[in-house]
Structure 1
């Protein structure tokens, strides 16, 4: 049997289909003599359409992200109904306020070409003579899937067409089967077992009437929908996906130059919070909310094996929520693995700072914590189980440990008031240094959510979202069963107030890369540094013992009464009026966030957060230019320093405060180890004692040069700012080789000042860095404008380790030396070879 599985547009080009990867492995296990192919039509379409109409990464992402407007599905409705002008005017009127004019024009162009693409795709699928074609359809894939399925059955009626995925859950799948007779089977719910059972029925020509959840047709063509399974699949039967087809196709596609591929893995299904408190607006998990988690050891082994097999270190975890037991099991194991992973995960927002730090140590660098709002009343309406202060604490602690946070601000809940938003918006300037929302969104009413199932919560008169009627030629009764998104009378704040929220978030997003607020706890005092535009002060020392104690207590949300009682319990005999005055003062300085009678301070620990923020210029990342203007620090007096001078803060004014200078660290011949130790001690700024001079010299000067460069490379990789001076001499034309290093304070050589200006203007973190995988090293290089990704397979760990600190060229064959230098990843400094890329340990946030 030959089975072809298809992932249609508008699936993301960054990620393989988890569903199809699982099904491919399941079929291979159950039918070892069968052929199973996965066609990544999302990648194929990108290549096809770019040749005819051009399609940028941003345009593809807009289509992928526009499911709730119907824009992306409408594009392929022309192929579904064999009409390149299918309802053009009606759709343009419908989305006039939600889709920019240039994207509407692009959509019309894609809409007209969609039938031609579907025809070419189907021809290529059928040329391989499959027996079964299975489509996964989730969110914006429906019309493209149906268009291809229709044409397959018209050209090759003997081919069995099967649909599955999120768009097929519950009543949706039954409606798809009824409404589109060219679809032979629709699998509702989890498909691993039922799909292979269906293949057995097709092979044996037996009846599928006992396969749970399956929709099928009898001899007369009538549609039947089997009852769905009453219980979800246990975690023990979940298999490791096979992504071979995706990574091969991605490497050959235009997507390879547009996006870094990611692994998609799952450690659990369902939601343990939703089992107890289903968030009122959430329609995820469909028929099965029950939480099931893989054993921690199995998950880690599976993940590391996949990174080795596909040689990919970017990982997206598909779970709806992190299993908290993993913090004591899977997370420590990942931290111990010699793999520099970049993992994204969904978590709950009430995790503590030490827990967040453990995630970062394990390679989990981005989280979606389901923040949604910063007002306790609104969060209670959502049934989120957290407060506004807890959510702000999460944002603050994520900044402290360099953890990226992805979230949206939602509104439109029944019984919310304008005061719920005014109280928060007025405090936004105090938290402009914390990760802002991606945007502001009115909640959609989703099938399977409490708002859909329980009209008493405030949304009683639901209708299928208006775009369904423009995309599909079906009666409303069928659309009602097929739809996932529903229209209802708007609830909550007015559109005028929603616009105020939107503008306030836009201001936050603009200010975020440009402002910072940090603390350095010196035991007897706490030094605060501020560059937020909304507050005029720069540094502040909290020195009174009871104020230091109060600040530390406000690390956790508490009321003023609780704060007073805890201070007195700590032997601080303070009057209530003094505490009230202190809170007033800190409120005016923008140090507090308050909600529901509680307050929490908003000051992350200093970690050079501003260096890890990017703005985007012409599609390319760049550090905010203001961060590198002028000297980064004072030039030490000649002969005054013999080792590395270290500070707890990079801000020049803050470094003048007593206790911020950490003293000197001896220069060693193993700077890689030295820098790691400095980071662990809390070093955030370092000054080198002498210039780094490149050029001919004696062997001793070669070692001195490489030692200085290595310190700068390692400090840059950790996000530590560096005062250093560089003399490139006659090699100044090669400055771009070093442009991924933190820009020097001065640059000697012809046109040194002009070159330094270019260096500073184009510098950003991780410009040229490497990551370790199992059996390979991945280098990402942006020094010359265009991204270059280099995979170094079968790397000799000893040789790489020696190059990090500078290895004698005599240890290598001439052929190796030539290859190293030509690659631009190794620099020859006299008698030594030196590794240029820094190891990536932190990931910036794009503003």
Structure 2
């Protein structure tokens, strides 16, 4: 047989389909003589539509992320019903005010062209002669999948059409099968076992009534739904996906220049928290909540094998929640592997700082901790098992260790009141240095959630979300069974209160890029630095019994417990002393309070604002002038040492204890960095200007030594005070724009160049990462992503170039290629590697 698996829009262009990768692996194992192809129509569609009406990455992502409005599904409903104007006006009326006008116009253009695209795609698929065409459908893919399935069956009735995926779970799959007769089979639930069994039935013309969860038709065309399996698959049955087709297509498609490809892996299925306390609004996991986890060694081995095979270091873990035992098993193994991974994971928000730090060491740089709210009472209504203070602690500690956090602020829960939101809104200015939510969103009622299954929780009269009736021409019963989203009367806070929350979060998001609040622990005191708007102070020193209180408030405590612990440490404090301190610290924006408990909101100093990639064209320069000429200790010093500080803020650096002294300026930057790491340096000044032009007094080895230190310090997130002479070709500053901006650039245009450099700088603008036997380079210096993967099995060439290598050790063709790509700088007879190693990742603001 020839089996074709198709991933339709609006699947993300960054990620392969985990479901189809798994199915390809399973089918290949079960039927080794058969041909299995995966068509990533999401990548194909982006190429196809760009040639006709244009579609930017941002517009594609809007379509991909607009599932809850129905916008993305409506676009392909025209192809499903073969009408380029299918319910145009009805849908426009429905989304008025929720979809931006320009995107509605774009959507109408895409809607009109959808039938043409589906016809083109299906024609190409059928020309390859498949026997079975199977579609995975999840969230916003449904109408596109059905449109393509309809045309496949119309043009080639002999081809078997199969659907599976998240949109086919439980009654949804049965409704799809009943409502669309051109679909031969629907696999419900986990498909690793059922789909190969179905293929065997198709091959042998056998009775499919024994395949668990399968929907099929008898000779009279009547739809039947086999009972779903009563138990989920064990961990041993979870196979490693095959993504060969995706990476081949991604490299050749327009997506290759727009998005970095990712591996999608799974270490577990289900949710261990949901088994005990199913969050009231969560509809994930469908029929199987039971938590199952792969053995840690197997997961790590598979992950490393896939990165090596596909030469990709970005990894999205599809799990609903991290298996906490992995912290003692898989995490140490990933640390030992030593590869520069960028992993995203979903975790629980009550993890401690040391646990978060271990994730960073293992390559987990982004987490979705399910924060959802900062009100303990509302979190209780969700059955989240955490408090508002714990969620704030997560945001604080994640910033301390450099961990990116993705979260959304939800509202609209039965039983919530304005009194739950007023104190949170009032305290948000104190949190403007921490990662803000992506948005403020009223909860949706999702199938499989407790709110859907248990009307006594507050949502009694549910009806399919309004957009389904505009997109699909189906009876009410089938719409109800097919829908994943449901409408109900709004619960919880008023629209006025929700608007206040939205405005407060918008202010948070707008201020976040430049607001800082950090602490430097000097042992006998802590120096705090603040640049948040709304708080006038710039630096504070905390000492004495107040220092003990500050350290105790790393974790949420009530004032009474705080007072008791202070007294137990020998501090003679009164209740009034503690009350006055808390009031003062609230006024300074150092605390967050929820449910009677208090936690401080000050992360450790780690140049956090360098980790914010400001994308707004009107945003001010992210990197301000740091140390002024009159900063204490900033006079020119010994040319053989680096001057070091614990902070990069001018006022904070002037406080006693903040200057770390001098560190030997050694030829080996790695040795220097080791010393700086132990000291806790966050700002370093080079001893002398860097002279780039050969023949203008520049010594090649000194130039390379200086550039190497700037590159390595930048890569480690340490700010650098340095001066540079670019020579007569001053415009070549763009090639060095990934390095921390200098204090000065020599020449008559120097001030203008410094301003442009600061405005354009962000971390990892041009950086490299190491994998097993390869190096990946990501270059944003020219305005678009340039991704290059180089084989380097012994790390030979790169290791030689890092500290400057003689040019005569390379072939002329190699040198020309490096210079043309802007990957090396030639200093006299030396070649110097320009990209910095990517060790920390910026958050897009």
Aligned residue for 1:519, secondary structure, equals: strand
Match of 1:778 in 2: 776
Decide whether the 8 Å contact of 1:314 with 1:343 is kept in 2.
yes
Structure 1 residue 625 corresponds to structure 2 residue 621: yes
CA contact (8 A) 2:691 2:698 kept: no
Residue 413 of structure 1, CA deviation: 0.3
Change in Cα spacing, 1:822 to 1:100, as seen in structure 2 (3 Å) is closer
In the TM superposition, residue 453 of structure 1 has moved relative to its aligned partner by: 0.4
* Cα contact 2:25–2:241 (8 A) shared by 1: yes
Offset of 1:700 from its aligned partner? 9.5
Pairing 1:144–2:144 present: yes
Q: Where does 1:192-207 land on structure 2 (aligned, <5 Å)?
A: 192-207=192-207
Please give the secondary structure, in 2, of the residue aligned with 1:761.
helix
- Residue deviations 1:147-185, cap 9 Å, x none? 111111111111000000000000000011111111000
Contact 1:611 1:623 in 2 (8 A): no
* Structure 1 residue 731: Cα displacement: 4.5
CA distance in 1, matches of 2:56, 2:694: 47
In structure 2, the CA distance between the partners of 1:9 and 1:698, relative to structure 1 (3 Å rule), is: closer
1:708-762 deviation line (CA, Å, top 9, x unaligned)? 1111100111111111111223453422221211111111235323322322222
Alignment partners' CA distance in 2, 1:352 and 1:630: 32
The aligned counterpart of 1:90 is 90
- CA distance in structure 2 between the aligned counterparts of 1:639 and 1:349, rounded to whole angstroms: 47
C-alpha displacement of 1:642? 3.2
Residue 738 of structure 1 aligns with which residue? 736
Distance in 1 between the 2:781 and 2:556 partners?
A: 44
Q: Secondary structure at the match of 1:789?
A: strand
Task: Give the whole-Å Cα distance in 2 for the aligned partners of 1:150 and 1:560.
Answer: 65
CA separation of 1:68/1:596 partners in 2, compared to 1, >3 Å: closer, same or farther? same
Distance 2:230 2:759 in 1: 60
CA distance 1:484–1:352, shift in 2 (3 Å): same
Moved more, 381-390 or 749-758: 749-758
1:686-697 equivalences in 2 (<5 Å): 686-696=684-694
Q: Which residue of 2 aligns with 1:573?
A: 572
C-alpha separation between the residues in 2 aligned to 1:7 and 1:687?
A: 52
Supply the RMSD in Å over aligned alpha carbons: 1.5
The CA distance in 2 between the partners of 1:784 and 1:226, in whole Å, is 56
Alignment of 1:99-110 (within 5 A): 99-110=99-110
The within-5 A match list for 1:367-406 is 367-406=367-406
Bigger shift: residues 591-600 or 55-64: 55-64
Q: Specify the alignment match of 1:830 in structure 2.
A: 828
Q: Which moved more, 1:441-450 or 1:824-833?
A: 824-833
Matched with 1:547 is: 546
1:557 corresponds to? 556
Question: 1:41: which partner in 2?
Answer: 41
Aligned to 2:815: 817
**Equivalent pairs, count:** 843
Q: 1:722 aligns with which of 699, 717, 720?
A: 720
Distance apart, 1:696 and its partner CA: 3.2
User: Greater shift after overlay, 687-696 or 228-237?
Assistant: 687-696
Alpha-carbon separation, structure 1, partners of 2:766 and 2:793: 18
1:844 counterpart residue number: 842
Q: CA 1:630–1:596 in structure 2 vs 1: closer, same or farther (change >3 Å)?
A: closer
Asked if the contact 2:429–2:508 (Cα under 8 Å) also holds between the matched residues in 1, the reply is yes
3-state DSSP of counterpart to 2:681: coil
Within 5 A, what are the aligned runs for 1:295-694? Answer: 295-543=295-543, 545-617=544-616, 624-625=620-621, 627-629=623-625, 634=631, 636-640=634-638, 642-694=640-692
* TM-fit CA distance, 1:680: 3.8
Distance in 1 between residues matched to 2:127 and 2:691, nearest whole Å: 63
Deviates more, 1:229-238 or 1:736-745: 736-745
Aligned residue number for residue 154 of structure 2: 154
TM-score for the superposition, normalised by structure 2? 0.98
Partners of 1:694 and 1:731 within 8 A in 2 = no
Deviations 1:356-392 (A, max 9, x none): 0111111111000000000000000000000000000
Tell me, in whole angstroms, the C-alpha distance in 2 between the residues paired with 1:624 and 1:9. 37
Query: Using the alignment, how far apart are the partners of 2:155 and 2:24 within structure 1?
Result: 25
Could you list the per-position Cα deviations for residues 528-577 of structure 1 after superposition, in whole angstroms to 9, with x for gaps in the alignment?
A: 0000001000000012x211000000000000000011111111121111
**Alpha-carbon distance between aligned partners in 2 of 1:4 and 1:81, rounded to the nearest angstrom:** 23
- How has the CA–CA distance of structure 1 residues 703 and 318 changed in structure 2, closer, same or farther, with 3 Å as cutoff? same
Classify 1:829/1:795 alpha carbon distance in 2 versus 1 (closer, same or farther; 3 Å). farther
Q: Matched residues in 2 for 1:696 and 1:251: separation?
A: 39
* 2:274 aligned partner: 274
Are residue 705 (structure 1) and residue 721 (structure 2) matched? no
In the aligned structure 2, how far is the partner of 1:728 from the partner of 1:477? 72
Q: What secondary structure does 2:565 align onto?
A: helix
Q: Distance in 2 between matches of 1:755 and 1:525?
A: 40
Range that drifts further, 214-223 or 701-710: 701-710
CA contact (8 A) 1:632 1:723 kept: no
SS state of the match for residue 426, structure 1? helix
Say whether the 8 Å CA contact 2:189–2:287 is kept in structure 1: yes
Once the two structures are TM-superposed, the CA of residue 807 in structure 1 deviates from its matched residue by 1.8
Give distance in 2, aligned partners of 1:94 and 1:73.
Answer: 14
Paired with 2:412 and 2:626, the residues of 1 have a C-alpha distance of 47
Residue 750 (structure 2) aligned to one of 744, 749, 752: 752
The Cα of 1:45 is off from its aligned counterpart by: 1.0
CA displacement, residues 324-362 of structure 1 (integer Å, 9 cap, x when unaligned): 001011111111213111111000000000100111111
Cα distance in 1 between the residues matched to 2:34 and 2:675: 55
1:228 Cα deviation from its structure 2 partner? 0.4
* Structure 1: segments with no counterpart, 5+ residues: none
SS of the counterpart of 2:699? helix
SS for the counterpart of 2:660 is: strand
Moved more, 325-334 or 756-765: 756-765
Is the contact between residue 626 and residue 648 of structure 2 (CA under 8 Å) also seen in structure 1? no
CA apart distance, 1:653:
0.6
d(CA) in 1 for partners of 2:117, 2:637: 71
**1:672–1:805: 8 Å Cα contact kept in structure 2?**
no
2-structure distance, mates of 1:648, 1:630: 13
* Cα shift readout 1:781-805 (whole Å, capped 9, x = no counterpart): 1222232111111354133112111
* Partner Cα distance (1:655, 1:705) in 2: 28
Change (3 A) 1:729 1:107: closer
Q: Give the corresponding residue for 1:259.
A: 259
Residues 638-657 of structure 1: per-residue CA shift (max 9 Å, x gap)? 44563011111000110111
Residue 472 of structure 1 deviates from its aligned partner by 0.9
- What is the match of residue 18 of structure 1? 18
Displacement of 1:820 in angstroms is 2.6
TM-score (norm 1): 0.98
C-alpha displacement at 1:693, in angstroms? 1.5
Which residue is equivalent to 2:6?
Answer: 6
